[in-house]
Each structure stands twice: as C-alpha cells, then as structure tokens.
Amino acid sequence: MEAESEFKEYYAKNMRGISGWFKARVYTIERWLYAAHRITGILIVLFVLVHFYSTGWHPGLWWDALLGIIVTFHTANGIRLILAELGFAVGKPLLIKKPSQRPVSIEGVQRYVVVFALVLFVVLAAIWAYYALVVQPMMG
C-alpha cells in the first residue's frame, strides 16, 4: 500500500530528478557544461575527502591525468560561470526584438566566453597531463 502511493506520487509529481541535470540533448551547449560541471564538482569533493585523509596520496599516472581533466574543466568553466553570474558577458536587455528572437545571453558574447573556457580547459589539462605523465615519473 505504502509502495503504491509512493509510486503514484512519483508519476503525479512528474519531477525529472537527477536525470534532469543530464538531459542536455535538445538544449544548447551551456546545458552540457552544466552537467559536466556538476559531475566534476562531485568527483572533486570525493577526491578531496581522500586527500584530507592522506595528502600525499595520488591515484598515479593515468589517473593523475584524469584528475587533471576533472579539476581543469571545473576551473575553466568556473571562471566562465563567475563572469556570467556577476552579470558580465550576458548582454543587455533588448528594446527591439526580432520575431523569432534568440536569447542574447546565449547567442551574444557568451559564445566567445564558452569557446574561451573550453580552450583554457584544453591548455590547462594538457599542461597538467604533461606534468603527470612525463615530468612526475622522471623525478621518480
């Protein structure tokens, strides 16, 4: 009986739940970045918990490079989000709209900021990977 009413409530409420974070296919790229930001954020928290326990511990070689990808993505996209959420790079409200107006906050300067964040991510991740895969093993 209990289970049945819960089941009914689930459908009546029609909330997407966590799957809603990752429903990005039909939307713009910002939605993918949102989903990736969530995942990387959660993974970083998990790593930090281990890191607190033993600061010297590292997952090692390829895992280190993966950790780099996670951290640098969160950093680069985080910079973009800080800019946007402080009200920069989202454009100005319009006085005159076209009949099928696309949102200025997405199609305006934000396009360049997204590209900038992605390039920054690739550069930082490459440096980190170089350090983790080449420099670190050499130093032993």
Partner 1 sequence: MASEEAKEYVLPPEVLEETMKASEELWKPVRKIKFRIYKYNPRKDYAPYWEEHELEVSRGMTVLDALLIIKGEADHSLGLRYSCRMGLCGSCAMMINGKQMLACQTRVLEAAGSGDVVELRPLDNFPVERDLAADFTSFFEKHRAVKPWIIRNDDVELNNPTGPYKQTVDEYARYYQFTDCIKCGACLSACPTAATDYEYLGPQALAQAYRYIVDTRDDGLDVRIPVVDTEHGCWRCHFAASCSDVCPRGVDPAQGIQLLKKLLIKRKFGFKPHKPAEALPAKVKAEKKE
Q: How far is the CB of 95 from partner 1 (least distance, A)?
A: 4
What is the torsional sign of CA 83, 85, 90, 94?
Answer: negative
Q: How far is the CB of 117 from partner 1 (least distance, A)?
A: 12
x/- track of binding to partner 1 for residues 14-53 (CB under 8 A): xxxxxxxx-x-xxxx-xx-xxx-x----------------
Q: How far is the CB of 10 from partner 1 (least distance, A)?
A: 9
Q: How far is the CB of 38 from partner 1 (least distance, A)?
A: 8
62 binds partner 1 (CB under 8 A): no
5 binds partner 1 (CB under 8 A): no
Query: Would you call 6 exposed, middle or buried from its count of C-beta atoms within 10 A (0-12, 13-18, 19+)?
Result: exposed
85 binds partner 1 (CB under 8 A): yes
Binding residues for partner 1, how many (CB under 8 A)? 46
Q: Which of 5, 6, 45, 87 binds partner 1 (CB under 8 A)?
A: 87
Which structure tokens are listed for 107? Answer: 């199609």
Q: Is the Cβ of residue 80 or residue 132 nearer to partner 1 in the bound state?
A: 80
Q: Which of 93, 134, 138, 140 binds partner 1 (CB under 8 A)?
A: 93
